[in-house]
Amino acid sequence: MAEKLRPLVAGNWKMNGLAASAAEFGKVVAGAAPLAGKADLMICPPATLIPAFAASARGSAVTVGGQDCHAKASGAHTGDLAAEMLADAGAVAVIVGHSERRADHGETDAQVRDKAQAAHRAGLTAIVCVGEQRSEREARETLAVIGRQLEGSLPDAATGANLVVAYEPVWAIGTGLTPTPADVGEVHAFIRQHLRQRYGAEGGRVRILYGGSVKPANAGELLTIADVNGALVGGASLKADDFLGIAAVYG
């Protein structure tokens, strides 16, 4: 039986946002009030904006997360940020293993797992991303690919509070394309089964987000599928109205 989990709608701003974006973030905070207790909202801005956003969201229904972290807590790693630094800046979570990090920076499943464990060490929730390429879906390898990524990328121990899994088909990110609801449901059920086998009852409490071209127009269809416990939103999270329009599915 699927447990009733409070949904999470997380916005991934990617490499977008300047100090002036505080106004758009403020609109998210103001618009989130009616959703308090019904859904958790999170924005993952560039790290430069985490302290200001976390301060302005304090006491609201919105939290702030990072987009990546280094596996180590400190050291000679020019340009990198430790999970501890994100926590210190006000983040409560961090995305790890996004397909753009896997593609642009060659991140492996083992590195993603180390980052997820670093997030836990720092007291952050790890949002671990997995997803197949278009060629893999066409070759009917989706579940095998997702199984491999879960096996290699997820931390050894986890709870419903400190782990979130995001299923993001690579070919659906930023393209306007989405899988059919049946395909989304199949992958989410498969991920849930993996989580239960691995973490027992806690695996039933880990939220599984769908990500890839989620918009207000398709949110109703995608976010009400069994075992879809929210969304990871890229492009549409940059506009407060669109982001809130997606979250409104849970209102």
**Interface with ligand PGA by CB under 6 A: which residues?**
12, 168, 173-174, 211-214, 232-236
136 Cβ neighbours under 8 A, 6+ residues apart = 142, 145
Cβ proximity to ligand PGA: between 81 and 231 the closer is 231
Cβ proximity to ligand PGA: between 97 and 235 the closer is 235
DSSP per residue over 15-53, as a string? Answer: S---GGGHHHHHHHHHHHGGGTTT-EEEEE--GGGHHHH
How far is residue 33's CA from residue 39's CA, in Å, rounded to a whole number? Answer: 10
Active-site residue set: 98, 168
Please state the closest distance from residue 164 (CB atom) to ligand PGA, in A: 12
Give helix then strand counts, H and E, for the chain.
10, 8
Please state the closest distance from residue 212 (CB atom) to ligand PGA, in A: 5
How far is residue 159's CA from residue 169's CA, in Å, rounded to a whole number? Answer: 24
Please state the closest distance from residue 88 (CB atom) to ligand PGA, in A: 25
Please state the closest distance from residue 211 (CB atom) to ligand PGA, in A: 4
| 3-class secondary structure, 95 | strand
215 dihedral zone (left: phi>0; alpha: psi -120 to 50; beta): beta
Give the CB-nearest residue to ligand PGA: 234
Cβ proximity to ligand PGA: between 109 and 168 the closer is 168
Cβ proximity to ligand PGA: between 165 and 214 the closer is 214
